[in-house]
Structure 1
Amino acid sequence: MRFIQIDKEQQNVPVVKNVIYAIKLCWQADKKLLIGYLMQEGMFCVFSFFIRNVLFLKILLEIITGNRDFATYVRALLAFAAVSVLCKVVSFWGMKMEKRATKNILKVLNNKVFDKAQSLDIACYEDPAFYDKYQRATLVLTSGYFDIICYDLASIIAEITSVICVFATISAINPVYLLFLVPVFLVFVIETAKSKYVYKRDMEMTTNNRIKAYVQRTVFLREYSKDMRTSNIFAVLMKRFEAAIDSNIVILKRYGVGLFLYSMVSSLFEEFIPIIGSYLYAGYEFVVKGNLTVSGFSVVLSSINSVRDVTLDITDCFDEMNQMALYFQNLREFFEYEPAVTSGSKKPKPFESLEFKNVSFKYPSADKYSLQNINFKLTKGETLAVVGINGAGKSTLLKLMLRFYDATEGEILYNGVNIKEYELEPYRNTFATVFQDYKNFAVSVFENVMCRPCTDEDKAFAENALKNSGAWKKINTFSNGGDTVLTREFDENGAGLSGGENQKVSTARLFARDFDVAVLDEPSSALDPIAESEMYDNLTRVTKDKTVVYISHRLSSAAMADRIIVLDNGNIIESGTHTDLMANGGMYSEMFTLQASNYNKEAIENE
């Protein structure tokens, strides 16, 4: 099991810059979160660490040792009670403000992440490094790190304020005591280094955690359940799961000693020197020199304990903020990511032609070209079939056509203009596409077809589209018809569909759209021959006078095409009509003859 390589840039992320970025992001989303925490923590820290433990104690001891009257003592108690009630009221309103703001920020940041995800290049989803970064970025939301960093900042501000008040009280008694508190400031340096050390450990564990999450998720997904129970794949997955756990254990052990040493050194400067040193000196002044009063001695000891408690809290918050800031680095990089496929400024006009000129393409992480020197021109009203065996480059051709990727070499022209010059979304909307790896969603059948909340008019339109795709016969058997939610994941009255029926629902999206060009990538891969024939008949009828591109390794659609392109190993090896290619006796002829014989065998067996 591999470990993630941590580069120099990741080890030296700008913590302060990321803290500022995180707070700014939260402030822009809802400033009430930080304000609410400041109200809560400010009242709590100043009251607990200074007013109650130091100031009020000092006043009471001075009243007692100074032989003041009982009325003065009562007035001090009433003042203390009034301040206590005020702090509770302010903290309560701060808590209400913070709770509401937390939900609002989660909504705002989630929407921001979703919007950004929609703008990412398709290449990002085929890059494991991207998924590692994306997972670490989404931890900010799923683990509530934005809430934690605001809480920590508010706590640090409140605790520093209370420490300043305590320091002022101690220095009034004897400034020497401040010297024993100097080592406390070294703790922040140590904890900063410790946070980066923990972050580096977590970075190395990210891929292993992603593998664990994948296995945990897959076990509960319906589409994997049959294969899990009819093969030994579960054992393979469990082996990877256990290997990921073992790898994490190795990482934890490797970092364990270092974290222990960080903690020991931190405790030395955080507790041992400040507390033992100040206690010894206070005892010496009180017992030996006799120049420290009982109230002064008590206040010094209470102040040192308060400073210790505050320091522990500040250290924890500071340590936590450092870690949160390192994770916000991933979120910041995610938001700052600029797609390689960028939108142009021209609006596409109605389709006239699409031309590939000397197009070659290689995936970013690949050594070999997936397409090489592709040349062809598609004109309005033409039906083109792109065929070839699996891995020939057919789907890659589609990705370039839709600008999911840009060509490595050559250019693609839409109406004679390079497609890079067009606005991205309007350009893609000129194509109605049915993908090979089709997906339906856990919403109603009608919403799956129309891809929007449906009016009664939309539902009627979607029903007609489902009839054209061949899915309506099945959908109509459901008690709620087209309003039935696909899958029972969120609705107990939902329905599951077979692979073929799911593909028909996906294909219905094409029938429900007004389009210039229809692109069908393996549109019948999950259909039986009869359903396939019916679907193609409907496609032929609906796409009459339209431009259509069929991409398939099944050749039943090719015979009806005006022109056929045969891809092999990323190259166009044949081009022509069905009749021409059958006469040539090349790869197309061999493939078509073999598939035809298989269909004949199936027909005989069915009889």
Structure 2
Amino acid sequence: MRFIRIDKEQENVPVLQNVIYALRLVWKADKKLLIGYFMQEIFGNVFSWFIRNILFLKVLLEIITGNKDFGVYCRCLILFAVLSVADKVVTWTGMRIQKKATKNVLKNINNMVFDKAQTLDVSCYEDPAFYDKYQRATLVVTSGYFDIICYDFASMLSGIISMICVFATVMSINPAYLLFLIPVFFVFVIETAKSKYVYKRDMEMTSNNRIKAYVQRTMFLREYSKDMRTSNIFSVLMKRFEAAIDSNIKILKKYGVGLFAYSMVSSLFEEFIPVIGSYLYAGYEFVSRGTMTVSGFSVVLSSINSVREVTLDVTQCFDEMNQMALYFQNLRTFFEYQPSIVSGEKRAEPFESLEFKNVSFRYPSAKSNSIENVSFKLTKGETLAVVGINGAGKSTLLKLMLRFYDVTEGEILYNGINIKEYDLNSYRNAFATVFQDYKNFAVSVYENVMCRVCNADDKQAAMQALKNSGAWKKISTFSKGGDTVLTKEFDKDGAGLSGGENQKVSTARLFARDFDVAILDEPSSALDPIAESEMYDNLTRVTENKTVVYISHRLSSAALADRIIVLEKGSIIESGSHSELMALNGKYTEMFSLQASNYNKEAI
């Protein structure tokens, strides 16, 4: 199993900038989250680490050893009691504010992630590296990292304030003790290096974790269950799963010694030198030299313990913030991603023509063109069929047509204007598309067809569309009809559909729309010949006087077209009507004759 390489950009992530970025993002989502944590941590920690453990002790010991009267002692106790109650009230209020704000932050930032995902280029979804980045970005949102970084920031700030107060108190007793506290600052440098080391380890495990998540997911999905039980694919997946776990174990061992070394050095500067050194020097001053009072000795020892606790807490917060900053780099990169498919400003007018002019296209990671010097023009009211064997470039042509990708060479014109000049939504809305890899969702049948929450009129329109696609015959048998939710994932009364029935529901979306151009990418791939014939009859009726593009390797739709384009290895090798291409006795004739013979065999 390969390891992920950690590049220089990842190793040199700007920690401070990312922390500020994360806090600004939280402030934008709901500023109350930071306010709630500030109320909990700053007031509570300063009271606990400084006022109660040091200042309170110092004042009381000075009253006792200074022969002050009992009234002064009682007034001090009352003051500290009031402060203690105030601490509890402020902390409790901050906790209530924080808990409510956490939900708002998660909701608002999730919405920001979803909105951003809508702007990503289609090419992102075809790049495995993108999934790693996207997984790391969503991990920040789903794993409560915003809560962690806000807590750590507030806690670290409260720790710094407490340390300043403690240092000032120790200086008033003897500035020499500050020498034993200097090593504490080296801990932050060590922990920064340690967090980058941990991040590097986690990044190496990302690919393995993605494999584990994939295997775990497929075990529970209905569409995989039959293949799991009728083949040996389960053992193949388990080998991948076990290999991912074994690889992660190797990675953990690889980094284990280094992390132990970081922890030991950190403990040396964090605990051993400050505590042992201060205790030795304080004992020397108190016992041998007699230059320190009982109150001074007690306060110094208490201060050292407080500094150790504060340092430990601040260090842990600093360490976590460093790690969070590295993870927030992924979210920041995600949000700052700029799509290469940039929307124009022109609004697309009603369709008149679509023209490919000397178009060539190559996928980013490919060595050769998938589309090579393709030229054709589609005019209003025309029916065009694009045919060819699998891998001929048909679906790529569709992606270029819908501007999921930009051409490498040449240009595509909509109504005589380059499609790059049009607003993307306006341009794409001119097309009603049924995709080859159709998808239905875990919502009602009506909502799947209309792609929105349906009122009574919408349901009537969806029902007619389902009748046109041939799906209503099945849907009408459900107790809730079109209100039935597809799949049982979220509804125990949900319904499962066969591949052909699912495709009919997906195709019904086209029948429910008012469109200029209909594009059907393998619209009958899951249908039997009879259902296919019925669907094409309905399509012919509904798309009369409309512009239609059929993209298929099955040629049953080709005879319906005014013109047929035959693709092979990304190039147009034949073009003409069905009768013209049959007369050529070329590639189209060969494909049509072969498929016709297969249909005859099925009929027998």
Q: Deviations over 1:267-316 (max 9, x none)?
A: 11111100000000000000000111111111111110000000000000
Q: 2:29 is matched by which residue type in structure 1? A: A
Q: Residue 519 of structure 1: SS of its match in structure 2?
A: strand
Is 1:252 equivalent to 2:252 in the alignment? yes
Question: C-alpha displacement at 1:248, in angstroms?
Answer: 1.2
Q: Residue 80 of structure 1: SS of its match in structure 2?
A: helix
Q: Which residue of 2 aligns with 1:327?
A: 327
Cα distance in 2, alignment partners of residues 38 and 349 from structure 1 = 55
Q: Residue 118 of structure 2: SS of its match in structure 1?
A: helix
Q: Deviations over 1:436-474 (max 9, x none)?
A: 000001111111100011111111011000000001111
Is 1:518 equivalent to 2:518 in the alignment? yes
Of all paired residues, the percent bearing the same amino acid is 80
Cα distance in 2, alignment partners of residues 588 and 65 from structure 1 = 107
Q: What is the number of equivalent residue pairs in this alignment?
A: 604
Q: Residue 311 of structure 1: SS of its match in structure 2?
A: helix
Q: Which residue of 2 aligns with 1:391?
A: 391
Q: 2:160 is matched by which residue type in structure 1? A: I
Cα distance in 2, alignment partners of residues 515 and 243 from structure 1 = 50
Q: Which residue of 2 aligns with 1:311?
A: 311
Q: Residue 339 of structure 2: SS of its match in structure 1?
A: coil
Question: C-alpha displacement at 1:565, in angstroms?
Answer: 0.8
Cα distance in 1, alignment partners of residues 228 and 560 from structure 2 = 40
Which ranges in structure 1 are unaligned for 5 or more consecutive residues?
A: none
TM-score (norm 1): 0.98
Question: C-alpha displacement at 1:339, in angstroms?
Answer: 0.5
Q: Which residue of 1 aligns with 2:176?
A: 176
Q: Which residue of 2 aligns with 1:32?
A: 32
Q: Which residue of 1 aligns with 2:157?
A: 157
Cα distance in 2, alignment partners of residues 405 and 447 from structure 1 = 29
Cα distance in 1, alignment partners of residues 227 and 556 from structure 2 = 29
Q: Which residue of 1 aligns with 2:83?
A: 83
Q: Residue 377 of structure 1: SS of its match in structure 2?
A: strand
Cα distance in 2, alignment partners of residues 260 and 27 from structure 1 = 36
Cα distance in 2, alignment partners of residues 275 and 44 from structure 1 = 24
Worse overlay, 485-494 or 71-80: 71-80
Q: 1:113 is matched by which residue type in structure 2? A: V
Q: Which residue of 1 aligns with 2:219?
A: 219
Worse overlay, 10-19 or 394-403: 10-19
Counterpart mapping for 1:561-576 below 5 A: 561-576=561-576
Q: Which residue of 2 aligns with 1:592?
A: 592
Question: C-alpha displacement at 1:100, in angstroms?
Answer: 1.1
Q: Residue 442 of structure 2: SS of its match in structure 1?
A: coil
Counterpart mapping for 1:28-177 below 5 A: 28-177=28-177
Question: C-alpha displacement at 1:30, in angstroms?
Answer: 1.1
Q: Which residue of 2 aligns with 1:5?
A: 5
Question: C-alpha displacement at 1:72, in angstroms?
Answer: 3.2
Q: Residue 2 of structure 2: SS of its match in structure 1?
A: coil
Q: Which residue of 2 aligns with 1:408?
A: 408
Question: C-alpha displacement at 1:63, in angstroms?
Answer: 2.7
Cα distance in 2, alignment partners of residues 67 and 355 from structure 1 = 100
TM-score (norm 2): 0.99
Counterpart mapping for 1:90-489 below 5 A: 90-489=90-489
Cα distance in 1, alignment partners of residues 520 and 589 from structure 2 = 22
Q: Deviations over 1:354-374 (max 9, x none)?
A: 111111111111112111111
Q: Residue 514 of structure 1: SS of its match in structure 2?
A: coil
Question: C-alpha displacement at 1:62, in angstroms?
Answer: 2.2
Question: C-alpha displacement at 1:160, in angstroms?
Answer: 0.8
Q: Residue 566 of structure 1: SS of its match in structure 2?
A: strand
Cα distance in 2, alignment partners of residues 56 and 323 from structure 1 = 36
Question: C-alpha displacement at 1:557, in angstroms?
Answer: 0.6
Q: Deviations over 1:161-218 (max 9, x none)?
A: 1111111111111111111100100111111111111111111111111111111111
Q: Which residue of 1 aligns with 2:498?
A: 498
Q: 1:427 is matched by which residue type in structure 2? A: Y
Cα distance in 2, alignment partners of residues 70 and 249 from structure 1 = 64
Cα distance in 1, alignment partners of residues 2 and 589 from structure 2 = 46
Q: 1:532 is matched by which residue type in structure 2? A: E
Cα distance in 1, alignment partners of residues 227 and 590 from structure 2 = 33
Question: C-alpha displacement at 1:66, in angstroms?
Answer: 3.1
Worse overlay, 519-528 or 27-36: 27-36
Worse overlay, 250-259 or 554-563: 250-259
Q: Residue 384 of structure 2: SS of its match in structure 1?
A: strand
CA RMSD of aligned residues (A): 1.0
Cα distance in 1, alignment partners of residues 545 and 143 from structure 2 = 54
Which ranges in structure 2 are unaligned for 5 or more consecutive residues?
A: none
Q: Which residue of 2 aligns with 1:532?
A: 532
Q: Deviations over 1:299-342 (max 9, x none)?
A: 11111000000000000000000010111111111001010011
